[in-house]
Amino acid sequence: MTPLAHDLNSYQAGFEWRERHGGGDDPVWLREMRGKAIAQFLDTGFPGTDEEEWRFTNLAPIAERSYRLPEFPTLEASTIRRIASLPVVAAAHCRLVFVNGYLIPELSSTSHLHPSVQLQNIASAALTSDSIVERELSQYAAVSKSSFTALNTAFLHDGAYVRVVPSQAVDEPIYLIYVTVPAADPVMIFPRNLILIGENSTAKLVEVYLSLADGIYWNNAVSETVIGEGARLEHIKYQLEAESAFHISTQQSHIGRDAVYSSTSIAMGSRLARNNLNAILAGMGGECTLNGLYLIAGNQRLDNHTLIEHTVPECASHELYKGILNGHSHAVFNGRVRVRPGAQKTDAKQTNKNLLLSNDALVNTQPQLEIYADDVKCTHGATIGQLDEEAVFYLRSRGIDLEAASGLLTYGFASDVIDRVSVEPLRNLFNDALRERLPQGLPD
């Protein structure tokens, strides 16, 4: 056990409490899954900075606190209205909305749902022992490999289950929106998503994490995504947690033969966030694109760890992560690309670019190429820099003042990632959020 594991008993106690309060009624397979997971977590505890994967991110601020498991929230009508009028909720025609980890049917809307899509919460799917959920849940994100997946699985009680049957084109994006209403006592929430895209189908899926007010809480989310043969999924994650919140997320994606997976992670919130994004190219001809934008300031800490595994020949992966840092913020980017033996004709490209708007901001960026095949093309590049002086001068020479010029250039830097998102209302939301957070402001 690591030194951070001092208060694991409270997790054991929480687990038992949950079993007594409703959890005990769940099907046996789910209870067994949770039982194994809590044992695993208690065995390993929180990882410490002595572990390679956690070298730059100290979890003490999360581990040293204790959290309550939230009960089903009783929401006043005014709160419901507030949530419903959040721009991202209003933009989401087809959505499940969870508050403090619980599905809120009044806030959810499935009227625009494509008939070929099964969209429900995991709790109800598990209750009816949906055989696919039983078979697929926890098959991809390994409890044994991550304390946070173990903990999420140990406390798994709700989340979203999305299944698109084969050969369907689903145009309407599906939103999974996790809202936290912080309370005086910090809560911990374990969103869990299972996303299955059938062969030759296309879909767009958006995960959103936000909060109604500032407060300390901890979201530890896991999404398992399976993209079937020839299928296409655009998977967007928008993290706008409260300033004092903690956010840990694990996205595990399994990309089938000739499937196209494209992920965009937009992260602006939380005090300490870690994203583990693992994509496995499991069938020949698969394609994986990981784009990311992080925009942090103040004392925010944000850590993106991505892993793309080329396990078979003739797959392509492209990765572009961009960061904008202000204040005393600290970002970590670790991009691992693993080319397994035999994965010939792999084409992998990785880029990480960071813009430092303050002298006190810090970035640790690290590509990790593990290549065990010889006929491959793998490139990577990372930059950390300030605004381009020539570009600033060019804008100023046209009458735009220094502040506005810096704002425009920063905006331009971020647009590169935002513009790759195909869902227009989301692009607009991202641009608005970006504008709001740009330290320099923008011309009208």
Work out whether 420 is an interface residue with other proteins (CB under 8 A): no
**Contact flag: residue 396 with other proteins (CB under 8 A):** yes
For other proteins, the closer of residues 127 and 402 by Cβ is 402
Q: Hey, what are 421's tokens?
A: 């998102």
| The only residue of 50, 131, 375, 398 in contact with other proteins, by rule CB under 8 A | 398
Q: Applying CB under 8 A, does 389 fall inside the site for other proteins?
A: yes
Rounded distance, CA 267 to CA 264, Å? 10
Which of 154, 409, 421, 423 binds other proteins (CB under 8 A)? It is 409
Query: Binding residue for other proteins (CB under 8 A) from 414, 423, 429, 433?
Result: 414
Stretch that binds other proteins, among 27-35, 165-173, 273-281, 401-409 (CB under 8 A): 401-409
Determine, following the binding rule CB under 8 A, whether residue 430 of this chain makes contact with other proteins: no
State how far the Cα of 233 lies from the Cα of 255, in Å rounded to an integer: 10
The helix-helix angle for 402-418 and 424-437 (nearest 10°) equals 150
Stretch 369-388 residues interacting with other proteins (CB under 8 A): 388
Q: Which residues contact 394 (CB under 8 A, 6 or more apart)?
A: none
Site for other proteins contains 419 (CB under 8 A): yes
Among 32, 360, 416, 436, binds other proteins (CB under 8 A): 416
CB 371 within 8 A of CB 410: no
Minimal distance, residue 436 CB to other proteins, in Å: 17
Q: Tell me the closest approach of the beta carbon of residue 314 to other proteins, in angstroms.
A: 30
Assess 87 for contact with other proteins (CB under 8 A): no
Q: How far apart are CA 186 and CA 189, in angstroms?
A: 10
- Site for other proteins (CB under 8 A): which residue of 195, 206, 227, 395? 395
Which positions ≥6 away from 135 have C-beta within 8 Å? Answer: none
**Residue 53 main-chain phi, psi, to 5 deg:** -70, -15
**404 in contact with other proteins (CB under 8 A):** yes
* Residues 156-175, interacting with other proteins (CB under 8 A): none
**CB closer to other proteins out of 363 and 418:** 418
Number of residues that bind other proteins (CB under 8 A): 27
Give the Cα separation of 131 and 26 in Å (integer). 14
Which residue, 128 or 428, is less far from other proteins as judged by CB?
A: 428
Q: Cβ of residue 418: shortest distance to other proteins, in angstroms?
A: 9
CB of 397 to other proteins, least distance (A): 5
Instruction: Report which residue type is found at 246.
Output: F
Among 64, 401, 432, 436, binds other proteins (CB under 8 A): 401
Query: Is 391 near other proteins (CB under 8 A)?
Result: yes
The residues binding other proteins (CB under 8 A) are 388-391, 393-402, 404-405, 408-409, 411-416, 419, 443-444
